[in-house]
Amino acid sequence: MVWICLTSPCTGPQVRDTHTRVSSQPKPGFLERLSETSGGMLVGVALFALSFYVLFTNEGRALRVATSLDEGLSQVVSLEPHSALELQNNNRLVHLTAPLRTAQPLYDPNYRVTVQAVKLRRHVEMYQWVEYQESRDYEENGEKKTETTYSYNTEWKSEVVNSRNFDKEIGHMNPSAMAVESVTVVAPEVWVGPFSLSKELVEQIDNFQRLSLSLSHPGPDAFLTVDGDYFYHTPYPRRPEVGDVRVSFFYAGVSGEGSYPGQAQVASVVAKQKGDQLVSFKTKSGDELEILYLEDLTAQEVFEREQQMNTRRLWALRAVGWGLMFLGISLTMRIFHTLVDWVPILRELVNLGLKIFALCVSCSLSLLTIAAGWLFYRPLVAGGLVALALLPVLIARSRTPPKKHQ
């Protein structure tokens, strides 16, 4: 049984309408719920296995990166900002802080935008219909029902929204493509001091800022309307229609001394000197060092930043691994919840018990897996983690009453 209720209110310049669809299906029986739980168990086993891989490899990766950074800090040679090219440092790890420099400005001929920077990004948006959904499940007359409310609104989007997937496409059709494409232009050669940067170092320059058209655009265009920091392909930017396009620009890595956007940015680089180039430096641990910060940093500060980033990544992946393990155990044990689903009180007790069980087991197994990752490098740390992982078991055994001997 399916019924549809339609309402169409209009508010302000943006048209917004909603409709609600209710679908119903017979309440699944015990065997159907058991079959769904079996599928969830397979997913749980896969997540459980994946959690071990994430936790174990994460420890080795973090330790390898930390070792490489320590090795790099002990070998790095700091160069003077305005020093000439010194060949005695060839193939050595060097640190240099100097302004960015490019040969010529970047230019977009379609919009006559010019900027002296490492990167220039054209960001295109189109005014389109967007569908939102809100659903709620409930039971009525022995059937399981789902009430879904669909809302439609017009918004600026940087990607084409496929209106064919809408629940109600009539009256909410979007164009299939944009008239203008987004693109990022990168300077062919970038220098810091007397050295040119490798492609990997240039990719790390990503501090994009919006380009102010009032300061950089040479003048009006008969086919475009400028409003704020946007080019509009419509004469009425304050009253756009579906299909209208607007364009904005962003730049990264100022590399000139012009009036806009200002003085060249200072970059701190740690990489291997190879002739007049800065490229990746391979450490004994197997990692590659090729670091760039758009700040005035000493070599010590650069490596401290990298160590901090490595620590944050370590703990983030630990949390991800533990979350995968907790979810995997919960899905695997879900079958016990299904077996007692027909008894409300028992169902809630079992559900609470399964969550506590999954929490305890996931914490202990996560600590054991992390300890295994440290076993060959830091045995004492691994031993402490094993003791911490077995603490719940020891506490439970200590509270067990002793058996009476007759």
pLDDT over 90 percentage in the chain? 49
Return the H-helix or E-strand segment holding 72: helix 30-75
pLDDT over 70 percentage in the chain? 77
Structural domain includes residue 379: no
What would the pLDDT profile of 277-286 be if each residue is shown by its tens digit? Answer: 999 999 998 8
Structural domain includes residue 294: yes
Looking at residue 1, what is its pLDDT?
34
What would the pLDDT profile of 106-150 be if each residue is shown by its tens digit? Answer: 999 999 899 999 999 999 999 999 999 998 887 777 677 888 899
Residue with more model confidence, 170 or 3: 170
Structural domain includes residue 404: no
What would the pLDDT profile of 290-321 be if each residue is shown by its tens digit? Answer: 999 999 999 999 999 999 999 999 999 999 99
Alpha helices in 103-251 (DSSP H): 199-203, 213-216
Give the number of other Cβ atoms within 10 Å of residue 361's Cβ: 15
Structural domain includes residue 184: yes
Structural domain includes residue 280: yes
Q: Coil, strand, or helix at residue 110? A: coil
Q: Which amino acid is at 237?
A: P
Alpha helices in 76-224 (DSSP H): 199-203, 213-216
Residue 94 has pLDDT above 50, yes or no: yes
Residue 340 has pLDDT above 80, yes or no: no
What CA–CA distance (Å, rounded) separates 222 from 77? 55
Looking at residue 321, what is its pLDDT?
93
Of residues 27, 258, 55, 233, the one with CA closest to residue 127: 233
Structural domain includes residue 252: yes
Number of helices (H), then strands (E), belonging to the chain: the values are: 8, 20
Instruction: Tell me the backbone φ, ψ of residue 146, rounded to 5 degrees.
Output: -125, 120
Locate the DSSP E strands across 85-173.
Answer: 93-102, 106-108, 113-115, 117-140, 143-157
Residue 32 has pLDDT above 60, yes or no: no
Looking at residue 2, what is its pLDDT?
35
Residue 85 has pLDDT above 80, yes or no: no
Domain with 106, as residue range(s), is 65-311
Residue 19 has pLDDT above 90, yes or no: no
My answer on whether omega of the bond before 402 falls inside 30° of 0, hence cis, is no
| pLDDT mean over 256-285 | 89
Residue 348 has pLDDT above 80, yes or no: no
Looking at residue 140, what is its pLDDT?
74
Structural domain includes residue 182: yes
| pLDDT mean over 265-288 | 93
Q: Are strands 225-227 and 106-108 parallel, antiparallel or unpaired?
A: unpaired
C-alpha R_g of the chain:
30
Residue 382 has pLDDT above 80, yes or no: no
Looking at residue 285, what is its pLDDT?
85
What CA–CA distance (Å, rounded) separates 387 from 392? 10
Structural domain includes residue 271: yes
Residue 226 has pLDDT above 80, yes or no: yes
Q: Which residues contact 294 (CB under 8 A, 6 or more apart)?
A: 205, 207, 253, 265, 266, 267, 268
What CA–CA distance (Å, rounded) separates 31 from 7? 40
The pLDDT-based confidence of 95 (bands split at 50, 70, 90) is: very high
Mean pLDDT of the chain: 82
Q: Are strands 245-254 and 195-197 parallel, antiparallel or unpaired?
A: unpaired
Q: Which residues contact 70 (CB under 8 A, 6 or more apart)?
A: none
Residue 400 has pLDDT above 70, yes or no: no
Domain count, the chain: 1
